Structure 1
């Protein structure tokens, strides 16, 4: 009798332990009186575990998607406001969006090492800007006796791609048809089809010409037409560049739009000047200076601007760097 009682007690303890460690199924299949089919319980546990795992995974994926969506929306907003780009946090550039086209002389007078310096100068300028679809867009016109559009305003929308494309440009090595290059930029690079934005958006159109020689064609008329169309023209002369021609190309005032360096070896020193011009100084509302007609980027005078008289035909105030 005692042995029978102990058997009942032990069986009860084991049964209670089993019930406490496994989830209770809604129904049980009996194989004999007092016995349960444990395989059914195990199948139920596995099914519930798999269901829970799938719910957690879906929740995690949804969370990641929400986070990505939030970041994307934030990035779009910041780019639209001109506050965000690949390197925006390290450049602190506050420039408003502009459509910027470089017009670069690659005639035979520009040696390969000098052309490389010119491209590095343009890359440094790009590094100072906020590049993006809703920020600054960049295009490049390469010229000598012929003109080649290397890429348009709507070709690249990130800084690294623009810099890489600049680095891959090859010189054309003949002639100096600057007037033709300006006309090409005006008629093909600053168009809606090429990525230039409409006048109603009040986004400045800026052309920066880099040349080391005298144009072999007429530049005065085509430059005046380009300026009248709303393109702000900057002219950078190097070495043998003709200062009178630079002034015919550039917008007024010349002391803000005409630049000169004696060699390509020091052209990078203009980077800080253009960074100041294109990015602007921080003001009360954090925006760049904008001139009265809404097209210029800056009209302020530079206290540290150097005055050069009689250098390479330069008779008025222009920014120059000498060795």
Structure 2
């Protein structure tokens, strides 16, 4: 009997290590993906897996010990934090499988300060940050650090672990990149049990802070808890494997998920303005409004819309720095409401002409000043001065020229003379007497007396006219120099 004891002990030990049978009910629920021996698993990726080019060797991360080789797309830059359950229910060999899974995912990523940064949060009833995002910048040191992680062995405080990751791992001080970088923040939670604390509110805060959560359940993992911890859509963020023995296969699924086929997303497009994805890894460049694509199909130049003669401006087209344009008008014109055509400004009607007497609108949209009759335009082309007809010598008066206030004039005669009917020439009063005496020697004394009276009256009248003239000239001088 004793000789069979070692064999029985070995058999019992193997039976103890076998996982308990899985309950089929929860596996049929929608909202999670499954890998295992009982049926095919779904694809967690949002993008199709890239096919290796014909004739190009492919070494996939899904193969044991394989690294990402030719034909596999470049991964997008991430701030990636693994939150791994090391509670008592995860036996040491199973925890080793979890670490292998983490290392396989790291193999599929482009690791570096400008690419993906990785941190690991280890949890049970307590939480330990094994290393931060800024701790390791190459795959080899990352995988060595993962291999050194040891389980904590008690409890399953998933909510506390997520909160710790949010508060301590996803911080700029710990190596996370800020919002301006547009680098996605991603957490992958691996667990085989049910959380022993509240996770719903913690998950809501994490998602509100911009963290995308993936939940990986193994064996006895509670499906409702997985759904509660994952981001939407659930069918892309919840995974399930029946044993830790197949968890490694999920690494290829995450490779597809984090694959960046799109040059626009990778930032390798070299488009100066806008990169447009055409699908299947193809793209083309476009330019912002007001710019045209150059012959290199990448850079852009400002469109000279004025030179194209499509502007529609009636007078002047002005190119703006933004690649657009606006219309302007010649001097003396104003832009109409259509912002294209122009109308002549009526400077005379606006009252801004400055003319002292008369404002005249010109066809060119400008204006000029004129003066009333008897006035002349001064050198400033605005004000007017009275014309001195008498000084000009064009008056035609035989004796005296008198300027009137209305810029006109009249003729006067010297004393002893009288103005003839032509209003220009003068005749002596004595000569008139002589003529009268000669023609009528018999004229009576009464006639001569009348002539003397008339002569005296004319002299007084001339004196009054001279006085009036002096007053008018004085008044005119005062108005001009006022």
Correspondence for 2:79 among 91, 99, 104:
99
Structure with more helix by fraction: 1
2:203 counterpart of 1:223: yes
SS at match of 1:236: strand
What CA deviation, in whole Å up to 9, does each residue of 1:143-192 have, x standing for no partner? 00000000000000001111110011000000000000000000000001
Query: How far, CA to CA, are the matches of 1:174 and 1:131 in structure 2?
Result: 32
2:247 counterpart of 1:267: yes
**Structure 1: gaps of 5 or more residues:** 1-86, 289-323
Structure with more strand by fraction: 2
Q: For the aligned residues, what is the CA RMSD?
A: 1.7
Asked whether the 8 Å contact 2:75–2:255 carries over to 1, the reply is no
> Alpha-carbon deviation of 1:92?
3.5
- TM norm structure 1: 0.60
Partner of 2:144: 164
Note closer, same or farther for the CA distance 1:147–1:89 as it changes in structure 2 (3 Å cut).
same
> Alpha-carbon deviation of 1:283?
4.3
Greater length-normalized contact order (CA 8 Å, ≥ 6 residues apart): 1
Partner of 1:244: 224
Query: How far, CA to CA, are the matches of 2:89 and 2:106 in structure 1?
Result: 25
Asked whether the 8 Å contact 2:218–2:240 carries over to 1, the reply is yes
The aligned runs of 1:17-166 (5 Å cut-off) are 90=70, 92-166=72-146
Runs of 4+ in 1 over 3 A off after TM superposition: 87-93, 283-288
- TM norm structure 2: 0.41
Partner of 2:17: none
SS at match of 1:279: coil
SS at match of 2:129: strand
Note closer, same or farther for the CA distance 1:97–1:269 as it changes in structure 2 (3 Å cut).
same
The aligned runs of 1:172-211 (5 Å cut-off) are 172-211=152-191
2:256 counterpart of 1:276: yes
Asked whether the 8 Å contact 1:207–1:232 carries over to 2, the reply is yes
Query: How far, CA to CA, are the matches of 2:160 and 2:179 in structure 1?
Result: 24
Asked whether the 8 Å contact 1:223–1:249 carries over to 2, the reply is yes
**Structure 2: gaps of 5 or more residues:** 1-66, 268-482
